[in-house]
Structure 1
């Protein structure tokens, strides 16, 4: 015969109207380990890629496309979004589409590292188009077309990730910004290929080059070599020291006169007379005419119809090589760098 279940000594459910309560919480032991949160930094100096002639070899290297735009840090907090340039200037108001998309990301606090770009009709990042969207150097135009290609995550929900290896940072980033997106914030995807093959394909498609990143590296500000850039076409920043006038060219600019840095001095490295359109030449001429000086800041040799300017404007110049006497070969003007972008002027060895 089956015995009936034994009646519990204490009812599982008390009176229905009695409130359910948890046990009293014990006082916390002050000697017990506490999980601390890292304060969100106001700014992190960016990790910069070191220029190399060939891609590195080895399984520890990850490869991405090199984007041609403005380096940005997107700071996300509950109180709002802030966008800082490489030089630490606040450009939040200039990228409203990026700000709006950042607010939709599934994070409470984060710092994203990326590049603001504008694509051409072939899907390539175009520095000139980015400049036009912002109204040129010194312009205050809002750029709705800009997209932030994000490639690193430096801070996430109370945790500083700069001492975390790159592979782990990327894994967390891919959970926030998934691959294949079409929004104003997109993931700069890692491409599964060896460096030599990827560089060849990038050059065939007219891209600027590729970036190699050490998977095991932490995030270190400056050019430490953990990130490397390999370019299809050389592109660097040079200081404008004057221009040669021409009656047959846009805005009367026949050729820009350029200089690079060598130690604490400026050295003339030749000129550039291509790459302008009517609009960019007019904006450039307007900027230069505010800076005219009577004597050149560097020795440019004898120049006909030359106008010299105070060396404050920095131009992004694309070129193929250097001549034997230290001048740029097959140079083309791409646009003026913004002062806030803190672009590094080319250093001669």
Structure 2
């Protein structure tokens, strides 16, 4: 059985709110009188477009922005699959989420959501998620939970052409509000966007997500979903590091790059946020990837070691300089290199 956990949303909502609907009874999608849609093997996710301020208008609904790994949970007749947004099978890494999915009262389904680990205040923490996964290398997490925020396929029916409001209604029947298991509902919050953003920032959350309740599910970053952040946090490719005998892992500063079209461009470095464990893990991974010449133009660097740009670091930062460099950057963790979509693209805001 799944073990009880901390409330998923103690800061922005009433965790004791009554369940809004009963779970559906399991229905056999093989019944011959039903017209069934083939279940997609994989769906490219709908991605949120970064905006500086929340949108206005009655068509927008809001949720907390979770800081974890974007996943799709595929519930099939004989198995459960958990896929990253890049299409990699991570079922083995989240056994508790897999078991919780198998217990849901549905024959077939595809849930869209985020795997997170919550801190003592109920906030998602990417660093804690990385610790629970034991760093890189395919280890399992027993602490991660899945925050479900969309339902793309349900009992033999493809829901992508249905409006968000209808998809959410079905999702809330399947994953009721207020649950404390390993799969929970990312609840909609009825509030003014500006007021909600202020509240989220006061409680040190990453930000909020706005969604057009009338929109269908469209893969890509098309503006149906928006993200508004309190503090910027994105993935950047590691292109090298500067040595320092006084720092953990002898890493004085990581050298970082972002995407600009089909190219990687240098965006500066980060020298804070490491602890002994994360620095040693980083150094071990980088030393396997040393190359003779930098993959991007970093300018003159003394005592620098360059690496293949296939490691992605999650970096928290406050702003950009006029020449396109990160300001007040801090290292949060190492993302999986296989998911190259995690690398920041300048087109997000420029």
Q: How far did 1:239 drift?
A: 1.1
Q: Which residue of 2 aligns with 1:103?
A: 102
- 3-state SS in 2 of match to 1:239: strand
8 Å CA contact 2:312, 2:342 repeated in 1? no
Match of residue 164, structure 2, among 163, 166, 178 = 166
Q: Which residue of 1 aligns with 2:128?
A: 129
Q: Which residue of 2 aligns with 1:71?
A: 70
- 3-state SS in 1 of match to 2:345: coil
Q: How far did 1:35 drift?
A: 4.8
Partner Cα separation in structure 2 for residue 226 and residue 298 of structure 1? 34
1:298 aligns with 2:308: no
Distance 1:304 1:342, change over 3 A: closer
Partner Cα separation in structure 2 for residue 269 and residue 80 of structure 1? 43
Q: Which residue of 1 aligns with 2:45?
A: 46
- 3-state SS in 2 of match to 1:189: coil
Between the two proteins, the alignment pairs up a number of residues equal to 315
Q: How far did 1:340 drift?
A: 3.6
With the length of structure 2 as denominator, give the TM-score of the two structures.
Answer: 0.88
Moved over 6 A (4+): none
Partner Cα separation in structure 2 for residue 286 and residue 159 of structure 1? 46
List per-residue Cα deviations over 1:128-183 (Å, max 9, x = no partner).
1111211213x221101010000000111111100000001101100010111110
Q: Which deviates more from structure 2 when the two are superposed, residues 118-127 or residues 174-183? A: 118-127
Unpaired runs of at least 5, structure 1: 1-33
Partner Cα separation in structure 2 for residue 48 and residue 132 of structure 1? 26
Partner Cα separation in structure 2 for residue 307 and residue 93 of structure 1? 34
8 Å CA contact 2:50, 2:228 repeated in 1? yes
Distance 1:343 1:120, change over 3 A: farther
Q: Which residue of 2 aligns with 1:335?
A: 333
Match of residue 309, structure 2, among 305, 308, 311 = 311
Q: Which residue of 2 aligns with 1:345?
A: 343
List per-residue Cα deviations over 1:210-234 (Å, max 9, x = no partner).
0000000000000110000000001
8 Å CA contact 2:249, 2:276 repeated in 1? yes
Partner Cα separation in structure 1 for residue 244 and residue 57 of structure 2? 52
8 Å CA contact 1:70, 1:341 repeated in 2? no
Q: Which residue of 1 aligns with 2:56?
A: 57
Q: Which residue of 1 aligns with 2:22?
A: none
Aligned residue runs from structure 1 range 1-349, under 5 A:
35-137=34-136, 139-348=137-346, 349=350
Unpaired runs of at least 5, structure 2: 1-32
